[in-house]
Amino acid sequence: MKSMVLGVLMVVAASSLGLVACGGDDDQTGSSTPIIDVSPTNYVTVAPEPATSPPVTTAPDAPGTILQYDTDYTLQEGDDAYASNVYYRWKIPIEFAAWIEMNGFTFDAETGIVAGWPPAGSTIKIPAGSTVPGEPPPSAGTTVPADGSTDGTTEATTAETDPPETEAPTTTGSDCTPGSYTIVEGDYPGLVAQKFDVTVGALNAANQSTKYYSSFAVGVKIVIPC
């Protein structure tokens, strides 16, 4: 009987040792698993700022250049008297009546009057294709060798041409008689007055009864005062 009990105890003891051994193997296996330390990044993500373009500035059109777009123009002294002053000075490429209509006014072809033409200081439209008034900046000009040679000498002269002169009517005191003049393309009251050395006021007064004078259209025959 004692030997049976002893045998049972030995079996139980052996089983316990086996369990302890298995537990030890599990501990060793767990300790050998690599551990990765995940830490927060040391930088932050910043949203990109929207791109901004520098402001675009447009230089004013130089005299003599052709407008690529419609533009506003403020009437000056003298412009308010006759719409044709502006029309011919800007060399507007469309018909006079069409330009007047573009600005919301009415042109009476019978009388040559533009109804409602505004005073100086008012703003009107100048269409694309018109030419900015004024003299264009001088160009470099054409140079030729002074001796006419082409051997590379640096001495040169600039070719120049004098503008044609316009002769005014000859007047002598009280014997002066008014003359006549037919308006051509590019004319306006100030220019014609300058051509004949008279004032715009005198030109206007002499043509109070001249038909179509207010339109100052090409082909109209006007009076040139003394």
In 54-149, alpha helices (H) = 83-89, 96-102
Which residues, in sequence order, are bridge partners of residue 114? 107
Closest to 85 in 3D by CA, of 129, 55, 109, 118: 118
- Domain ranges in the chain? 71-126, 175-224
Structure tokens at 11: 């079996």
The residue ranges of DSSP E strands in the chain, in sequence order, are 71-74, 106-108, 113-115, 123-126, 143-145, 156-158, 179-182, 221-224
* Token pair 């503008």 in the structure block, residue: 163
Task: Answer yes or no: are the C-beta atoms of 197 and 97 closer than 8 Å.
Answer: no
Domain with residues 175-224, CATH architecture: Roll (3.10)
Task: Answer yes or no: are the C-beta atoms of 127 and 102 closer than 8 Å.
Answer: yes
d(CA 166, CA 196): 8
Burial (CB count within 10 angstroms: exposed 0-12, middle 13-18, buried 19+), residue 202? middle
* Token pair 């294709």 in the structure block, residue: 129
Which residues, in sequence order, are bridge partners of residue 71? 126
d(CA 87, CA 100): 9
Encode the chain (226 residues) as per-residue pLDDT tens digits: 555 555 555 655 555 544 444 444 444 444 566 666 555 555 555 566 665 554 443 446 788 889 999 999 999 887 767 788 888 889 898 988 899 999 999 888 777 788 888 988 999 999 999 999 877 766 655 444 445 444 444 444 444 445 444 444 444 444 556 789 999 988 888 888 888 989 888 888 898 888 888 778 888 899 999 7
